[in-house]
Amino acid sequence: MISLRVTERERATARRLAEAQGYDSVSAWIRDRVLHGDATPQAQARVVGSLGRIGGWLNEAAQALEAAGAAPEAQLYRGRSGEVAAMQRRFLGQDAELIEDDDAG
Report whether pLDDT(29) > 50. Answer: yes
Phi-psi region of 22 (alpha: psi -120 to 50; beta: other; left: phi over 0): left
Q: Check if the beta carbon of residue 14 is closer than 8 Å to that of residue 29.
A: yes
Domain ranges, ordered by start, for the chain: 1-38, 41-104
Q: How far apart are CA 71 and CA 90, in angstroms?
A: 29
Q: How far apart are CA 25 and CA 27, in angstroms?
A: 5
C-beta contacts of 41-48 below 8 A and 24+ residues apart: 44/91, 47/91, 48/88, 48/91, 48/92
Residue 101 pLDDT level (bands cut at 50, 70, 90): very low
> Alpha-carbon Rg of the chain, whole angstroms?
21
User: In 3D, which of 61, 53, 97 has the Cα closest to residue 79?
Assistant: 61
Lowest mean pLDDT among 8-12, 28-32, 99-103: 99-103
In tens, the pLDDT along 54-69 reads 999 999 999 999 999 9
